[in-house]
Amino acid sequence: MTRLSIAPASADDARIGGFLDRQKRRVDAMPPGMCPLAQQLTLLEEGALQTCGKCVPCRDGLPQLAGMLRHLVDCQADAAEVERMRALAEMVRDTSDCAIGYESANALLEGLDAFAAEVESHVSKHECQRSVGQSVPCETFCPAHVNVPAYIALVAQGDYAGAVQMIRKDNPFPTACGLVCEHPCEQRCRRTLIDAPLNIRGIKEFACEHARADQVPVPKRLPATGRRVAVVGGGPSGLTCAYFAALMGHDVDVFEGRKQLGGMIRYGIPAYRFPRERLDEDIRGILAVGGITVHTESPVDAERMAQLSADYDAVYVAIGAQTGKGLRIDGTDAEGVFSAVDLLGRIGDGDYPDFTGKKVAVIGGGNVAMDCCRTAVRAGAEEVSVVYRRRISDMTALPAEIESAIAEGVEMITLQAPAAIEKDEQGRCCALLTNPQMIGPVKRGRPAPVAADKPQMRIPADIILIAVGQNIVSAPFEEFGMAAEWGEFKADEQLHAQMDAEALAARGADAFAGANVFVGGDCQTGPASAIKAIAAGKVAARNIDHMLGFNHTLDCGVTVPPAQPNDRAAYGRVEVLERPARERKNDFDAVEVPMSTEEAMQECGRCLRCDHFGAGACEGGRIQYA
């Protein structure tokens, strides 16, 4: 009889645990521009090495598949070998005993389909597609391709104004992005290999804190070209286009329907996340270029749009996604039911609601829902709930936003789908009725809720805020002749608006009408992020310049500091703190406390300067425009 032991079955399991974190970080830091088949190979080889050695398909099949895939990665495989690989992968998928085998083969089969073009390139051209090639991660994943390593180096030198100028080379909203950007730049930061991604947004916030955007001089405007550009929509996308077009010497008129500039970063983001005076710093910086004439409270209808297209050399349409989506349930007409964007829009113009003593329910799980619930807390609500039909982990809001809302006392009522709104005799809403859900099968990569066998729930509510998405007011522009699908304008990758020949003919316009119209931002992509809208504005300005026969280059006025050797010691990531919840929930003042100088310097010191070290130094390793 074997005696029992308290020793772990394998002493190395615990040690492996420590290295798994490294392995995860290696995966998290997968460089942009990798050959997708190389990624598939590492995934497959990992599966092959995990085999226990029992079953033939996994033990003998996966190494064979890995050999074939390596052959393909090396551009040595022909189409017949790819077919053999598929046939073997199907056998491994269908006959492996456990998930180590079948999921490895399943991933390979799906990968071969997902990357069919890359497979074809390897087989027939014996090379990767042209799009394969590594580049600097932060710069690549920033939609506006801001030169991140450069401005971090400038902050490290203490040149905060230089950092703001460097950011503005690609993005005239440094303050907005310092405070509210969803920071895609951080997602594959190479520093992750050592410890964690840099807090890039926090560093930008720090720079703008110490060098205000309206105090840092903008570059001198290039000589006037005599060309006129109309921008429809004074949000981040329109103003970015205006900024760059004006810098290039074009005269710009911005037509904004509301009272003030800023679009959704004024009318959609609450002041506690982005104080208005900070937004005004960015806007003053942009307007300081000169040559930009702003027309507020100037909505553009079809007729006006036709006029603009005729009168101006180019038009950029960036009207955003401004109206709230409704819910198809009974009782949405009750008094006390609002769309999230209406509420946030009114606040944008200083009309703060008073929810004192009210019970507020917010429907939705995105960032707008978090903005609404946290606003409701500050408006004095007695209790605030977020009602969402999936789980907290399925919410599209940033995790930090959810955490902050909970800290401020918001109750997350999850797995409840709105069924109806209950009204009292006066027609005021008094409760939200919900149907319980349970989380079910994954559909299109996301677990989907299904009706649960539980009783309906009644959530008492005097105010119900609906934050389930936004729509685009596309009708006037469609009438003008712009093509749209589901309300989103169609454009090519250069953002030339696609015109609808039938609509043009219907209003008697000639077939060339609209050839000078560009369109971008939320109204072209559907509701997305500020930085994507900013990126579109920059693309539009560049391409308008090109269409007008120019090829202006812009000098941001600062040079990139030389790279210092990497500090390879592992550090923790400095997070940006918020004021204590018990304080901040009582006012609309900024919640974030920017990094201290000491913190910012440590954070900057972690930057590995991928612009200098590694592929960033190679031809094609950067995404930069002069």
Partner 1 sequence: MLNITIDGRALEAREGQTVLEAAREAGIHIPTLCYLAERSAIGSCRVCVVDVEGQDAPVPACTTRVVDGMQVQTATERVLKYRRMAVDLLISNHGLDSTDYCFSCVKNGACELQAVAREVGVSHPTFPVAQMRKPVLDSNPFLRFDPNLCIACQRCVGACNNAAGNHVLQTGKRGVRTTIRAPFGPNWDATICESCGNCAQACPTGALVEKRRGLYREWDTHTVRTTCPHCGVGCQLDLVVKGDQIVDVQAADGPSNDGLLCVKGRSGSFDFVNSPDRITTPLVKNPETGEFEPADWDTALDLVARKFAELKEEHGGESIAAFACSRSTNEDIYLFQKMARCAFDSPNVDNCARV
Residues that bind partner 1 (CB under 8 A): 48-57, 59-64, 67, 87-88, 91, 93-95, 97, 102
**CB 339, min distance to partner 1, A:** 45
Minimum distance, C-beta of residue 38 to partner 1, in the bound complex (Å): 21
**Which CB atom, from 95 or from 624, has the smaller least distance to partner 1?**
95
Burial class (CB in 10 A: 0-12, 13-18, 19+), 570: exposed
Q: With respect to partner 1, which residue has the nearer C-beta, 74 or 589? A: 74
Question: Which CB sits closer to partner 1, 101 or 345?
Answer: 101
| CB 89, min distance to partner 1, A | 11
235 contacts 263 by C-beta, under 8 angstroms: yes
* Minimum CB distance to partner 1, residue 46 (Å): 12
**Please, what is the minimum distance in Å from the beta carbon of residue 114 to partner 1?**
21
Determine the 3-state secondary structure of 61 from DSSP: helix
Lookup result for tokens 């790279």: 563
Complex with partner 1: residue 55 or 398, whichever CB lies closer:
55
The DSSP annotation for 169-186 comes to TT-S-HHHHHHH---GGG
Q: How distant, in Å, are the alpha carbons of 308, 375, 481 from that of 303? A: 9, 38, 11
Task: State which residue, 94 or 555, has the beta carbon closest to partner 1.
Answer: 94
The SS3 of residue 529 is coil
DSSP 66-89: HHHHHHHHTT---HHHHHHHHHHH
- Shortest separation between residue 119's beta carbon and partner 1, angstroms: 20
- State which residue, 48 or 319, has the beta carbon closest to partner 1: 48
Q: How far is the CB of 96 from partner 1 (least distance, A)?
A: 8
Distance CA 257, CA 69 (A): 56
Amino acid at 186: E
| 340-348 helix and 367-378 helix, angle to the nearest 10 degrees | 60
Q: Which is nearer to partner 1, 95 or 293 (CB)?
A: 95
Put residue 308 in one of left, alpha, beta given phi > 0 → left and psi -120 to 50 → alpha: alpha
Taking the least distance from each CB to partner 1, the nearer of 56 and 505 is 56
Which pairing describes strands 484-485 and 457-460: parallel, antiparallel, or unpaired?
unpaired
What minimum distance in Å lies between the beta carbon of 7 and partner 1? Answer: 19
Question: In angstroms, what is the minimal distance from the CB of 381 to partner 1?
Answer: 51
Q: At what angle do helices 276-287 and 236-247 cross, to 10 degrees?
A: 30
How far apart, in whole angstroms, are the C-alpha atoms of residue 253 and residue 278? 23
Distances 133 to 126, 616, 622 between C-alpha atoms, Å: 15, 11, 10
Beta carbon nearer to partner 1, 63 or 605: 63
CB of 58: closest distance to partner 1 in angstroms? 9
The 10 Å Cβ neighbour count of residue 30 is: 15
Distance in Å, CB of 62 to partner 1, minimum: 8
Q: Find the radius of gyration of the CA atoms of the chain.
A: 27
User: Which CB sits closer to partner 1, 105 or 208?
Assistant: 105
Closer to partner 1 by Cβ: residue 55 or 623: 55
Give the CA angle between residues 259, 265, 266 to the nearest 5°. Answer: 35
- Tell the smallest beta-carbon distance from residue 95 to partner 1 (Å): 4
Q: What is the signed CA dihedral for 543, 546, 547, 548, rounded to 10 degrees?
A: 130
Give the pair of three-digit tokens for residue 396.
Answer: 């599209």
- Rounded to the nearest 5 percent, the helix, strand and coil shares of the chain are 40, 15, 45
| Helices and strands in the chain: count of H runs, count of E runs | 25, 20
The residue among 106 and 134 lying less far from partner 1, judged by its C-beta, is: 106
What angle is formed at CA 442 by the lines to CA 458 and CA 384, rounded to 5 degrees? 30
